[in-house]
């Protein structure tokens, strides 16, 4: 085989391999459901600034996630629950059938800005191992909050 043809064959093989490696992993990713949510200002247990996200998971269940810091997060951020320091926040699910049930796992915010909807994703479990996973888009509630 002439060197020119060999380079063409190697080039095409690399191209096919590159396309395959780039495309197939994306096919296996599951599409996460986007849940409607609301977000509003809140108070941390020590009367500091906070915000609470309410995700309507199904008609009978709402996931509540409180983050105990100012709702002004400019960079992508992840929070884990339970929080060992007791300073980041809490996550639980409120159901018509069950009392408040604590959740463990993570929540990711693309950013938090009170001037625009908040987008992110969550991956949480309850104490029985039931999995709650998806994306959310939260609209701001504009209710007055008085801490202290």
Domain ranges of the chain: 1-30, 34-140
Token pair 């709702």 is found at 71
pLDDT band at 112, cuts 50/70/90? Answer: very high
pLDDT at residue 21, as a whole number: 56
CB 67 within 8 A of CB 51: yes
Average pLDDT over residues 84-113: 91
Could you tell me which residue, 82 or 6, shows the higher pLDDT? Answer: 82
Average pLDDT over residues 98-122: 93
- 101: Cβ contacts below 8 Å, ≥ 6 apart: 92, 93, 95, 126, 127
pLDDT band at 32, cuts 50/70/90? Answer: confident
pLDDT at residue 86, as a whole number: 81
Q: Residue 25: pLDDT above 90?
A: no
DSSP secondary structure letters along 71-126: S-B-S-EEEEES-TTS-SEEEEEEESSS--EEEEEEEEES-B-TTS-EEEEEEEEE
pTM of the model: 0.76
Average pLDDT over residues 115-123: 95
Token pair 């479990």 is found at 125
The CA-based diameter of the chain, rounded to the nearest angstrom, is: 82
């Amino acid at each position: 085989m002439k060197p020119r043809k060999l380079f063409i064959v190697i080039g095409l093989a690399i191209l096919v391999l590159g396309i395959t490696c780039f495309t197939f992993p994306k096919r296996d990713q599951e599409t996460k459901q986007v849940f409607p949510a609301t977000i509003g200002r809140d108070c941390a247990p020590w009367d500091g600034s906070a915000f609470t996200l309410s995700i309507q998971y199904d008609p009978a269940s709402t996931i509540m996630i409180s983050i105990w810091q100012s709702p002004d997060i400019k960079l992508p951020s992840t929070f884990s629950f339970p929080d060992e320091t007791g300073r980041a926040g809490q996550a639980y699910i409120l159901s018509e059938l069950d009392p408040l049930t604590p959740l463990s796992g993570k929540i990711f915010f693309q950013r938090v800005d009170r001037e625009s909807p908040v987008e992110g994703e969550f991956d949480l479990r309850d104490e029985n191992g039931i999995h709650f996973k998806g994306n959310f888009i939260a609209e701001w509630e504009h209710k007055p909050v008085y801490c202290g």
